[in-house]
Amino acid sequence: MTSSKSIVDWNALSLNEGIRFGARLLREQLGVRLFVATAGGECIDLTPPGPEAETVFDHFVEIDARWGDGKVRATMDGTRRRWAEQVEKWSEEGGARGGSAVVETVPGFWARLVPVVLREEVVGAVVVAGYVPKEKAAKRVEAIRTVLPDHLQAAIAEEEGPTIVQLARRDRRWIDRVGQSMAKAMVEQLEKDAPSLVDESGRRFAGMLGKSKEMKQLFRKIEKVARTNSTVLITGENGTGKELVARAIHRLSPRRDEKFVAVNCAAIAPELIVSELFGHVKGAFSGAHQDRQGLFEAADAGTLLLDEIGDMEPTLQTKLLRVLQEGTLVRVGDTQVRKVDVRVLCATNTDLEDLVRKGRFRRDLYFRVRVIELGVPPLRDRRDDIELLARHFVNETVRRHGTGRKELSEECMQQLRCYDWPGNVRELENAIERLVIMSGQESTIDARWLSEPIAEAKEPEPTLDFEGYELPEAIEWIERKMILDGLRQTGWNKTQTARRLGVSRRNLIRKVARYELEEFREDK
């Protein structure tokens, strides 16, 4: 697999003195190699350069530079995929319960993986690889030899070639301790560099899940605006996750170590909201028995999210504009001007521009809060994420209620994909919780447990806009899309894709070349 361009600069870890020392120690003492692996399949070798390769595993790693044997290359590609699958599993489960994992890969080498957990997100793993357990060496050494070129097999048999590293339990326990130290050093380095919270698969970002094009674009925008101090307006329907976007901005910002405070402006009575935001002094109104700071002061040096800002009263809008422009406020019943340093994020599910036209929202405040606008797509516009989110919510619900392991049937999943989800991600989460509970002791959740609206949902009709296209261009576009979708669904198996599309394999290969579709392949 090949990940998209990493935002975390993993290669920079090779410059860290502690990591370099650990890699050199592992190499010199035990003959193993140190890597960092990501869920997207990226694998960076952190082993410092040294003399000519001396172990068989070195030949697998350095195959491109040595003697491009197909079997050996495929074996190493499979090894990297297994490492990536383990990292992705940790990422989806929210962490490594056992602290580390042993991954055995074809044809017999072992690797110890330790998760790299950055701000509660598994972003990669330390991998110490290239050995076989001493007590299980006989079978594994023979398996390794079978994929090697003849000249290497002969050299190993005569004890003149590279060695296959065999480690006892004691050495493997030491590897585990070193791996834990390496993971800690990597986290410290990445924290120092203030990295992104995008994992290599692009599926998880600072507590949000999404692999669709729409969410990946949103992740990149958050990445750009987070490190500034600009006011951000987050728009989207109810249940799309606007507060999660705000929290992601805070977690990636220079203010991440300070407070994040969120307030729903629509949930507080109009007569109390001014005091809630700006505070009051003793005696300011009935019930004000002592001085009290507001949420702006509570969030000083940090981030304040004003949710449902479109429901603000006009007088409150004026006070908010002053804070945004001057960074000052006055508590209710007070005359003292107080200075605050707060980054303000605003969220709304209403059309503020329409409210401005109707005279219900100040125009100057609208332009002040809309320095940058981030739109969160509704779930119906990111259907590629429904399966990912559904499986995540199943696992979360199972963990929370202590039920046995469960999974969704394909029929059930298909209906989830067809439904329009007017309540968005929040509605999906609640629907999954209902399914888990109503399915009782069954390990597979089938479609009979779906609520009526979801069970009766029909697959949405595809809409294509070919305005400006001539007929040959439109036909090519459709053909290209059908072939690409078919290849992705079959894991780029051209024989299966050709059979599904009703064309010959030769014809399919010719069209793949014509449309240059190989560049979209994710497993190269």
**Residue-by-residue DSSP string for 23-66:** HHHHHHHH--EEEEE-TTS-EEE-PPP-SS--BHHHHHHTHHHH
Instruction: Please tell me the predicted confidence (pLDDT) of residue 67.
Output: 46
Sign of CA dihedral 130, 135, 139, 142: positive
Q: Judge contact between 4 and 98, C-beta under 8 A.
A: no
Q: What helix, strand, coil percent values describe the chain, rounded to 5?
A: 50, 15, 35
For residue 107, whether the previous peptide bond is cis, meaning omega lies within 30 degrees of 0, is yes
Residue 390: half-sphere exposure toward Cβ, Cα within 13 Å:
25
φ/ψ (deg, to 5) at 338: -115, 140
Residue range 484-508, pLDDT digits in tens: 888 888 888 888 899 889 899 889 9
Contact between 410 and 375 (Cβ < 8 Å): no
CA atoms within a 13 Å half-sphere pointing along the CA-CB vector of 404? 7
φ/ψ of residue 78, rounded to 5: -65, -35
User: Which residue stretches of the chain have pLDDT < 70?
Assistant: 1-12, 14-15, 39-41, 50-53, 62-74, 94-98, 106, 119-120, 155-156, 158-161, 191-204, 460-468, 522-524
Q: Give the H or E element holding residue 502.
A: none
Amino acid at 448: R
> Taking each helix axis from N to C terminus, what angle separates 386-401 and 70-93, rounded to the nearest 10 degrees?
60
**Residue 240 to residue 14: CA distance in whole angstroms:** 39
CA distance 482 to 476: 10
CA distance 172 to 110: 10
Full set of structural domains in the chain with CATH: 10-192 (no CATH), 204-375 (3.40.50.300), 381-455 (1.10.8.60), 471-520 (1.10.10)
**Chain segment 272-283, per-residue pLDDT in tens:** 899 999 999 998
Predicted TM-score (pTM) of the model is 0.55
At 440 the three-state DSSP class reads: coil
Handedness of CA 402, 404, 408, 412 (dihedral sign): negative
Residue with tokens 């109810």: 238
Residue-wise DSSP of 124-181:
EEEEEEEEEEGGGHHHHHHHHHHTS-HHHHHHHHTT-S-B--EE-HHHHHHHHHHHHH
Rounded-to-integer distance, Cα 298 and Cα 310, Å: 23
Residue 66: predicted pLDDT: 44
Helix (H, G, I), strand (E, B) or coil at 304: strand
Q: Tokens 């606007």: give the residue.
A: 242
Q: Which residues contact 378 (CB under 8 A, 6 or more apart)?
A: 236, 237, 240, 421, 424
Looking at this protein, which amino acid is placed at residue 517? L
Helix axes 410-418, 424-438, angle to 10 degrees: 150
